[in-house]
Amino acid sequence: MVPKKPHALLLWMLVCSGGSTEAIEPISTSIAVGMAAALTGFLATYPNIFYYFNECCRPEWISLNKTGLKVDLDRKLYGQHIASRIILKAVSGFMSNDNPKKPLVLSLHGWTGTGKNFVSQLIADNVYKEGMDSSFVHIFTSELHFPHASQLETYKSQLQQWIKGNVTNCAHSMFIFDEMDKMHPGLIDSIKPYLDYYDKLDGVSYRKAIFIFLSNAGGESITQTALDFWKAGRDREEIELKDLETLLSLAVFNNKKSGLWHTSLIDKNLVDFFVPFLPLEYRHVLQCAMAEMIARGHQPDPSVADQVARDVVYFPKTERVFAVKGCKTIESKLDYYI
Ligand SMILES: Nc1ncnc2c1ncn2[C@@H]1O[C@H](COP(=O)(O)OP(=O)(O)OP(=O)(O)O)[C@@H](O)[C@H]1O
Ligand SMILES: [Mg+2]
């Protein structure tokens, strides 16, 4: 629906542009009104044209590409059969529900460099046309956004206002909390009402938003389970969510440094899915190196990938099964080999 009057059009442009209002501010009202008048005739002919150029909180810009997400998870994410399955199910179930009872809350856990940020990006890429660059996707990092423990109370109210403002602007907003292990649990507790089964809070409904928490908490217990399977000569793919789930939520709840330590988010079952990320093995590091070569436009060379993967450090010391840094340093390491 396109407003017909110039002033209404301008207002609509400002509302629809969401995060990009700053770009419009410097233009004086008279010029803007003039521009709007000129545009009106054009828009009367092509009523939806503006949606195609300016990101809006509309299905043209926000809708799940389920096949795309499945293909990405199958082809680009290595060694994470459990995470892959949960994420596809959780995101597609949530996005296909027009009336969810609460926002989707995912808590991603695992060893470093196993794909937690990477998966968040795959989700964003397949929900928002602009992917991680979307003005409806927001990332919080403890060290960047909440560095001083003494300012916890300020951070709490800022975070609440920030989330409220963004969800008011677009119900389908996504919030990623990185480095949860370094966050004060009180901070996350302060947004608990937004994650709960409320119809509306102060006139705002949070039920269509997605919250993703990333942390290394629980990584050790996941790794121990993966190692037990390996030692027993069992296939990694035999590991099931039930082998990890209870262990994981306990490890997170009881870990003072998990960011979710004794938070009511866990008490009240507000986290919909605890998603375990398994530690990566030699063969996965190999795949990461091959993918990185392709991403750089090189012919993928298995012998180079093998060299890169062999030079990575593995643990435990005796068995040398899992990559200490996962696939995290492959991108920079590859520079030495090609
Ligand atoms: N399972 C994986 N499959 C494919 N690529 C991966 C995987 N894990 C990591 N990578 C690659 O390594 C890079 C770093 O991984 P990512 O940042 O997602 O790790 P992380 O789990 O968030 O680690 P940390 O806990 O240290 O933050 C990714 O951008 C991706 O290129
Ligand atoms: Mg990360």
Output the residue whose Cα is nearest ligand 1's atom 13.
Answer: 328
User: In this predicted structure, what is the pLDDT of residue 45?
Assistant: 73
Output the residue whose Cα is nearest ligand 1's atom 19.
Answer: 113
Is 113 a pocket residue for ligand 1 (Cβ < 6 Å)? yes
User: Against a cut of 0.95, is the pTM above it?
Assistant: no
Coil, helix or strand at residue 290 = helix
Closest-lying ligand to the alpha carbon of 109?
A: 1
Token readout for 5 is 């009057």
Place of tokens 């795309």: 68
Closest-lying ligand to the alpha carbon of 115?
A: 1
Quote the CA–CA distance of 101 and 109 in Å, as a whole number: 25
Coil, helix or strand at residue 280 = coil
User: In this predicted structure, what is the pLDDT of residue 260?
Assistant: 63
Residue 325 alpha carbon, nearest atom of ligand 1: 26
Is 219 a pocket residue for ligand 1 (Cβ < 6 Å)? no
User: In this predicted structure, what is the pLDDT of residue 181?
Assistant: 83
Is 279 a pocket residue for ligand 1 (Cβ < 6 Å)? no
50 alpha carbon to ligand 1 midpoint, in Å?
Answer: 36
Domain 66-277, CATH among 3.40.50.720, 3.90.180.10, 3.60.15.10, 3.40.50.300 = 3.40.50.300
User: In this predicted structure, what is the pLDDT of residue 27?
Assistant: 57
Q: Which residue intervals of the chain bear CATH 3.40.50.300?
A: 66-277
Token readout for 250 is 């306990």
User: In this predicted structure, what is the pLDDT of residue 8?
Assistant: 42
Query: 62 and 173 in contact (C-beta within 8 Å)?
Result: no
φ/ψ of 62, rounded to 5, equals -130, 105
User: In this predicted structure, what is the pLDDT of residue 47?
Assistant: 66
Of 280, 286, 287, 325, residue with least CA distance to 81: 280
Quote the CA–CA distance of 215 and 183 in Å, as a whole number: 10
Cis peptide before 185 (omega within 30 of 0): no
Tens place of pLDDT for every residue, the chain, 338 residues? 333 333 444 444 544 644 443 344 555 677 777 777 777 777 777 766 666 778 999 999 999 999 999 999 999 999 999 999 999 999 999 999 999 999 999 999 999 999 999 999 999 999 999 999 999 999 999 889 999 989 999 999 999 999 999 999 999 999 999 988 888 878 888 888 999 888 989 899 999 999 999 999 889 999 999 999 999 999 999 999 999 988 887 777 676 665 566 566 666 778 899 999 999 999 999 999 999 999 999 999 999 999 999 999 999 999 999 999 999 999 988 888 87
